[in-house]
Amino acid sequence: MRLPNRACGLRAAIVLLAVLLPLSAAHAGKTLEQIRQRAQLVCGVSTGVIGFSSADSQGRWNGLDVDVCRAIAAAVLNDPNKVKYVPLNAQQRFTALQSGEVDLLSRNTTWTLTRDASLGLHFTAVTYYDGQGFLVPKKLKLTSARQLKNAEICVQSGTTTEKNLGDWFKAQGIKVKPVVFEKFEASIKAFFSGRCQAYTTDASALAFIRSKEAPQPDDYVVLPELISKEPLGPVVRRGDDEWFAIVKWVIFALIEAEEYGVTQANVEQMKAGSDPAVQRLLGSAEDSGKLLGLDREWAARAVKAVGNYGEMFQRNVGSASPLKLPRGVNALWSKGGIMYAPPIR
């Protein structure tokens, strides 16, 4: 994916060294134990993507990806604040996870075959279905990305974006010139100064860039095409199936909570309700946590910490946020979207 990317060569070097040194090897099945021992979840996040993971002026992290970390910390450690956030740029992120520097990578990362099958990682679940789009100046009077013949397109490196661009325009038989910047700031500055005829990244970020970074938002328009599928979600290291299951099922629990109408505010009342599915989710009937190596209240605590998936969405990227993104495909399956969690039973 995309966005600010304060390159820290030193950190990259440290992370690389960590892979090289045999002493730091992380061992299978021990992630949960380590997290409990240090009483802290170490979560790899972005270096600043509004709505997904960014630090505010007091240094507090927030966003959809950050809420996933908080929910997991609540489920595992009984405290959503026991999380250490490690900002990682696109180049560092996988190495940091592979080397054991972070327990979990929750950093708007696209699930692809190459990443899932060759990096020693497991993608857990999708927390946001995104797609790559284009932002263009209105005065070029473009109505489709197919009209971008010979255009120069500004893009930030370190993402799946460049390859999507190559693939899509090749399929269309159109030649375009990417102008690739390492840093987000430079890439949008170049675009808004008129260096490129289009800017490309994931649609969720385009909305933000248009409304917050453009000198005149009305002078720019997002083209209708989405040229790629970008399912974003948290990633864990291979070799620890228990931890993989915990991360996956906390996310499923948040989605299922929305489905059953369990919210941050009503979670206590719902525990006492009569719906067996809700009781199973919240641990008031069966103990669903035991199978995961957690206690029976794990999901209830997660929902209490960050709300259900719908609440997380509204607060961070939806109508209650500056991004104002529509739910679209990220709505529940029962409401016309594709967010679907396997049953908790």
Partner 1 sequence: MQGQRWRDLTIQALLAAGLLAALWWLLDVTASNMAERGIRSGFDFLTEPAGFAIGESLLPFDSADSTLRALAAGLANTLRVALPAIIASTLLGTMIGLGRLSPNLLLRGLCAAYVEILRNVPLLLQLLAWYFVVTDLLPLASEAVQLAPHVFLSKSGLSLPWFGGDAGLFDLPLQGGMNIVGGAALTPEFLALLLGLSLYTAAYVAETVRAGILAVPHGQSDAALALGLTRVQLFRLVLLPQALRSIIPPLTNQHLSLTKNASLAVAIGYPDLVSVANTTLNQTGRAAECIALIMAVYLILSLLTALLSNWLERRSGRWAERS
From the CB of residue 151, how many other CB atoms can be counted at a distance below 10 Å?
20
For partner 1, which is the closer residue by CB, 160 or 288?
Answer: 160
Among 73, 102, 165, 253, binds partner 1 (CB under 8 A): 165
The answer to whether residue 213 forms part of the interface with partner 1 (CB under 8 A) is: no
**Whose CA is closest to 254, among 282, 235, 288, 295?**
282
Q: List Cβ neighbours of 291 (8 Å cut-off, separation of 6 or more).
A: none
CA 135 from centroid of its chain's CA atoms: 21
Strands 132-137 and 198-202 turn out to be: antiparallel
Residues in 261-300 at the binding interface with partner 1, rule: CB under 8 A = none
DSSP letters spanning 34-86: HHHHHT-EEEEE-S-BTTTBEE-TTS-EESHHHHHHHHHHHHHHS-TT-EEEE
* CB 176, min distance to partner 1, A: 7
Residue from the set 237, 248, 280, 315 that interacts with partner 1 by CB under 8 A: 237
Max intra-chain CA distance, the chain: 63
Name residues contacting partner 1, limited to 102-121 (CB under 8 A): 114-115, 117-120
Nearest distance in Å: CB 24, partner 1: 9
Exactly one of 6, 36, 38, 167 binds partner 1 (CB under 8 A); which one? 167
Q: Which CB sits closer to partner 1, 241 or 268?
A: 241
Site for partner 1 contains 151 (CB under 8 A): yes
In this structure, the dihedral spanned by the alpha carbons of residues 226, 227, 233 and 234, taken in order and rounded to 10 degrees, is: -140
Residues 37-96 that bind partner 1 (CB under 8 A): 90-91, 94-95
Q: Judge contact between 33 and 26, C-beta under 8 A.
A: no
76-84, 174-182, 216-224, 225-233 -> range binding partner 1 (CB under 8 A):
174-182
Residue 197 touches partner 1, criterion: CB under 8 A: yes
Q: For binding to partner 1 (CB under 8 A), which residues are involved?
A: 16, 19-22, 25-26, 90-91, 94-95, 98, 114-115, 117-120, 140, 150-152, 154, 157-160, 162-163, 165-167, 169-170, 176-183, 186-187, 189-190, 193-195, 197, 237-239
